[in-house]
Structure 1
Amino acid sequence: MSRVGRLGARVRLGAVFAVTYAAEFLVANAQVVREVLTPGSGVEPALLRQELAGRTPLEVASIAALVGLTPGTVVVDVDDPREVERPCMTVHVMFAHDLAEQHRALAALERRLLAALRGVR
């Protein structure tokens, strides 16, 4: 792929990532606001350990930052990709009703981010 074609792919994948992340961010905000404003508790907190596909410090730091920005999540620990073969991230989630779905959502977010950063799907 030519340099211009690769740049176009990165821009397109970056735009797709930005739009999908913004949508997920808004949904997470709505979920937290609903929890604050309604009686009772729908909170089901959990810690989950997610293996990461990112292999560089930039990739791992980027996914950790984006997850940490999302309401209802706190990144507790991130492995340094320079020190381990397969870095992992530990995340505290507020709404862990389905841990398998939480893992899938984090993996999908990371896949889209890596596609945008690397310029390939």
Structure 2
Amino acid sequence: MSGLLILHSLWRWAVLLAVLGALYGLIQEARGVEPAARWKPFIRFYPVILDIQVALGILLWLAQRLGGGPLIPIQVIHPVWGLLAAGAAHAAAAFRERENPIRARGMLIAYTLSLALILIALASVGAFPFGRR
């Protein structure tokens, strides 16, 4: 279980880098500038990278539940924020087939909401950048 926790903790950096890359590309797109090719994979695969993080979190949560012990509030709050963040990231798909700038703005709003929810989830467990974990 500790290996799973380490993997979940390290993968958050991939999630944060992916959302920042996606947001940068979408900001360029919203301004009417074609984003460089290096930013397009971030825009496309950010929800998948976040899904991997959520799946790791669910496996970790299940492993903790099978280990017994009482369920503490943080073990409910943190996963809920993570699931909401994934939902917001997937909501961006509703804008994928639209014309620019509506496409870029809609995806930008959805991804920004997802980032805000991720930061709330990190803050709920005191994870860096909000603590020392």
Confirm or deny a common fold (TM above 0.5): no
Q: Which structure carries more strand by proportion? A: 1
Higher relative contact order (CA 8 A, sep 6+): 1
TM-score (norm 1): 0.35
Q: Which structure carries more helix by proportion? A: 2
